[in-house]
Structure 1
Amino acid sequence: MATTWKAPPHGWFKANWDIGVDSKRGQVGLGAVIHDQHGKMWVSKSQTQQGFLDPSAAEAMAALMAVQLCMEMGIQQVQLEGDAKNVIVAVNSKEPDKSGRGQLTEDIRSTLQVIPVWEMRNAHREENKVAHALSWFGYL
């Protein structure tokens, strides 16, 4: 059975993020997209980072980009989805993140404090196609 993107509950938004790594060029692309409960896209963002190849830290950077977009839009309820379980577990944990992405995890947690209701969970690549495509946008 195919997995597809599902709209968030009534009154919520959904923010998806993902990355694309181009090891030949030494680049990583970050992508984030926010949809409303009807599946309408409200905002998207992509950017490229040069000389940055740690996928876990890149996933955390993309998650932070998505959270910052939510904060800038004044979103009050959001489901955050990405396919980096280690980032999601770290953000949801109460423990300090002792990995190489620790400061990024703290930045995500700090930014999430301004969003009253949020949940961060894992999404399969099939549920994250738009964010994944955005992550490669900078390479075109």
Structure 2
Amino acid sequence: MELSVVTGCLAGAISQDPEDVIQGGDVLNKQASASMEGFLQANAPPETEVLGGPCEESSWIRPPVDFLKCNWDASIDGRSKKMGMGLVFRDSSGGFRAAAISNIPYITDPEIAESIAARWVVSMCAKLGFQSVVFERDALVVVNSLLSPSPCWRICGGIVEDTRRMLHQFNSWTVKHARRSANQVAYFLAKHALSLVQDIVWRGECPSFL
């Protein structure tokens, strides 16, 4: 399943700039932790190096030394008509480096939501200053669309092409496919994002629920 559809009305407004809140404070962290625990229970530059390609992984595997791995996911709430996005960065020792969640109202088309989420992830990576990254997602169509050399003529083609161009900002990168079991943290973050009223970015200190 490429995208999870969440039912139930989840209230809240949204700040659409992923830099609106870079939050490490106790208040939002505790709120996010409590909410998550409840949920858990109920054209490229020459120097750019593109590594590998689609590779289905059934469990989370550490990236190469000097690389970060970014797992991401997207989710839709059909009743409240919005999408949620979540990402997490970990290093070659498995250590937490950063995580982020965001939601956008009035996005209910799965293909458009997936494309928007991919662009958001790449944008967040650039803003955080990470340059050597393995991007990993459990939706093969998304992975293939980012790696394909052919123009994307689908309804979301402009977003996909924009994301491809953005990827070439990085020194070294790849996009891989993984099973849902290897993408659980990002999956939970994307679901949790649907219940928030603002974007949150954690950097350095891992949230207690991860």
Q: Does 1:77 align with 2:132?
A: yes
1:89 is paired with a residue of what secondary structure?
A: helix
Q: What's the counterpart of residue 177 of structure 2?
A: 122
1:62 is paired with a residue of what secondary structure?
A: helix
Whole-angstrom CA distance in 2 between matches of 1:130 and 1:28: 17
Amino acid at match of 2:143: I
Q: Does 1:135 align with 2:181?
A: no
Aligned partner (choices 129, 146, 161) of residue 91 of structure 1: 146
Q: Does 1:109 align with 2:168?
A: no
Give the structure with higher Rg (CA). 2
Whole-angstrom CA distance in 2 between matches of 1:93 and 1:21: 25
Whole-angstrom CA distance in 2 between matches of 1:58 and 1:40: 29
- Structure possessing the higher relative contact order (Cα contacts under 8 Å, 6 or more residues apart): 2
- Unpaired runs of 5+ residues, structure 1, are none
1:23-72 deviation per Cα after TM superposition (whole angstroms, max 9, x unaligned): 12212111111111111121111111211111122122222222122212
Whole-angstrom CA distance in 1 between matches of 2:116 and 2:96: 21
Amino acid at match of 2:88: V
1:68-112 deviation per Cα after TM superposition (whole angstroms, max 9, x unaligned): 222123322211111222221111111111111111111211111
Aligned partner (choices 57, 67, 76) of residue 122 of structure 2: 67
**Would the aligned equivalents of 1:11 and 1:37 in 2 still touch at CA under 8 Å?**
yes
TM-score for both structures, normalised by structure 2: 0.62
Runs of 4+ off more than 4 Å: none
Identity %, equivalent residues: 30
TM-score for both structures, normalised by structure 1: 0.91
- Unpaired runs of 5+ residues, structure 2, are 1-56, 196-210
1:64 is paired with a residue of what secondary structure?
A: helix
Q: What is the alpha-carbon root mean square deviation over aligned residues? A: 1.6
Higher strand share: 1
